[in-house]
Amino acid sequence: MRTASLGALMGAALIAACFVDRPSKAFECDSNADCVGFTDNRTCKNHFCAVSNCPRDCTMCDEEMQICMAECTSAESCGSVTCPSGWTCTIHCTGGNACSDITCSSGSKCDVTCSGTDACATLSCAGACQCDLTCGTGACNTPSCPFTGNGGNRMECTSDGTTTGNCDSARAAGCTKC
């Protein structure tokens, strides 16, 4: 009886081994170019095409350093762009209507350049720890920028110190909160 139980246990273990999930050869890669055929955003990591944790509009991304570059060059090519908390994002909206809403989340660092007619509809980075904006004529609506202080000591982190200027983290020492 004991031999039969041991045999049944070993048989069950062999069957269970057949259901262990192993990476398929289809996911093997040597470079990011090998991962282009997948429908989800995969990059080559440790010789396997893995799903990326980069923000969706990144055209270049370093997940470990949490750095994202988004190049938006044509009408609504990026749509809404979000720079997550803890990330450093460089966002270039260089075509007409290239970006609709840009959000730089609390704790993010953003460097945004907008050129082209209505390239950037809305920029919201009041909660960002650092935000810089360069806007061409007719490229941006009024941005929402960080500020330092409060009440009578409030200072807008904009190029001209007003609530309508371009975001500028060099304006005052408190404009960089990272």
Percent of the chain with pLDDT over 70: 86
pLDDT in tens, 63-109: 889 999 999 987 667 878 999 999 999 999 998 888 888 999 999 99
Q: Is the pLDDT of residue 4 over 80?
A: no
- pLDDT number for residue 51: 84
In sequence order, what E strands does 78-162 have? 79-83, 88-93, 99-104, 109-114, 120-124, 130-135, 147-148, 155-156
- pLDDT number for residue 46: 86
Cα dihedral sign for 154, 170, 97, 70?
negative
Place of tokens 């408190």: 174
